[in-house]
Structure 1
Amino acid sequence: MKSSWQVATAAEAFAAAQFARCGWDVSVQYGANQPEYDLVAVDGDRMLKISVKGSKDGGWGLTQSHISNADYHGAADAWLKKHSKKTVFCLVQFKDAALDALPRMYLATPAEIAAWLKAAASGRGDTILYERHAWTDRAKAAGTVDVIPENWRFTEERINEIASDGYP
C-alpha cells in the first residue's frame, strides 16, 4: 500500500470483515460525501456507527486540524465535540503486519481517544494517537512510552462492551 487512499480502503475492508466474522451485519458506505462514519454494524437491536482509520506508520493523526497555540488538550476537546457519542472508532494498523496476517485492530470510543490524547506525552497531550511511542531525550515526555490500552484490541468481548447498554 502506497497511498493514503489504499490504506483507507484496505482498513475499511478489514474492519467490515472482522465485524462480519463476529456475527454482525455490516453496511459499507461508499462515495465522496460520507458522514462521520464509514460502516454501520448491526447485531439484532444493537447498532454501531464505525469510523475506520487506517495507518501504515504506527499512528493515527486525529486532531491536527484543531490545534492552535500548542493547546493539545483543547484540540482533543474540539475533536471530541465533532463526534457523536454513538460513533466507534476502528483503528487498523498495517505497520509491520505481514501480508498473510491480519493487521492489528483496535476499537475505542471518541471519549476514550480524547482522554488518551490528553494523557499522551506525560500529560502534555498530542495530536497523534500512537500505537506505541517512546519519547526521546529531546521531548518533554523523555523516557516515557505511550501505548494503546490492551483492552482496546478488537475482540468480540470489546465489541460487546462498547455495544452494551452501558455505552454512553
Structure 2
Amino acid sequence: MSKISSWHVGVAAEAFAAGMFARCGYDVSVQYGANQPEYDLMIAKGEKILKISVKGSQDGGWGLTQNYKKGLDYHQAVDKWFEKHKSKTIFCFVQFKNTALNELPRLYLATPHEVAETLKKSAGGRGDTILAEEHKWGITAYAAGTVDKIPESWNFSRDRIEELFVTA
C-alpha cells in the first residue's frame, strides 16, 4: 500500500473498525464531528456498551505517549497517558502496513491498562512512546536484541470483544 495522509489513515481505520464490529453483530454508533474526546465509536449488544478509540497506522506502530514525555521518563509518560483514559474505553488498533488494497488490515483490541503495561515493557523494560506491532531492536539500541510485539490475545475476534465487555 502506498503512503497516504494521516487523516486518510484515520478515516480508513475508523471505517474498517466500524465495519468489523458490525460484521460481528454489534450495533455501532459513530461520533459526529472531528477530534472527539476519548472515543470514536460505541458498540452495543443488548445492555452491554463499550466506547472504542480507533488508532490507525501504516508504519507498524502507534505513537501514544510522546505528548506526555517532556520532562518525564517513559514510564511516567505512560502513567500520565493512562490517567487520561477511562476503563470502559477500549482501543482498536488498525494496521495497514504490508496490506494490499484488497486485503483487510490487522486489528487489535486492548484496554488502556493493557496498553500501558505493554508500553512499559517495551525496549527491554525502559518503556517507549510507540506501541509497536512488532519491532526488533538493533544492535546499537538500548534494548538491543529484544523484540516488542503486540500480544496475540489482542487479535480482533468475537471472543476478544466479549471478554472486553466483561473485563473492561
Q: TM-score, normalised by structure 2?
A: 0.96
Distance in 2 (CA, whole Å) between partners of 1:90 and 1:33 is 16
C-alpha root-mean-square deviation of aligned residues, in Å? Answer: 1.0
Distance in 1 (CA, whole Å) between partners of 2:63 and 2:45 is 30
Structure 1: 4+ residue segments shifted above 4 A: none
Distance in 1 (CA, whole Å) between partners of 2:35 and 2:68 is 21
Alignment of 1:1-150 (within 5 A): 2-69=4-71, 71-150=73-152
Which stretches in structure 2 are left out of the alignment for 5+ residues? none
Distance in 2 (CA, whole Å) between partners of 1:32 and 1:85 is 23
Distance in 1 (CA, whole Å) between partners of 2:49 and 2:23 is 16
State the AA in 1 paired with 2:123.
Answer: A
Task: Report the alpha carbon displacement of residue 68 of structure 1 after superposing the two structures with TM.
Answer: 2.6
Distance in 1 (CA, whole Å) between partners of 2:58 and 2:37 is 24
Which stretches in structure 1 are left out of the alignment for 5+ residues? none
Q: TM-score, normalised by structure 1?
A: 0.96
Secondary structure of the equivalent of 2:28?
Answer: strand
Aligned-residue sequence identity (percent) comes to 63
Secondary structure of the equivalent of 2:56?
Answer: strand
Task: Report the alpha carbon displacement of residue 29 of structure 1 after superposing the two structures with TM.
Answer: 1.2
Deviates more, 1:107-116 or 1:64-73: 64-73
Task: Report the alpha carbon displacement of residue 140 of structure 1 after superposing the two structures with TM.
Answer: 1.1
Task: Report the alpha carbon displacement of residue 105 of structure 1 after superposing the two structures with TM.
Answer: 0.3
State the AA in 2 paired with 1:122.
Answer: G
Distance in 2 (CA, whole Å) between partners of 1:70 and 1:128 is 15
Give the aligned partner of residue 158 of structure 2.
156
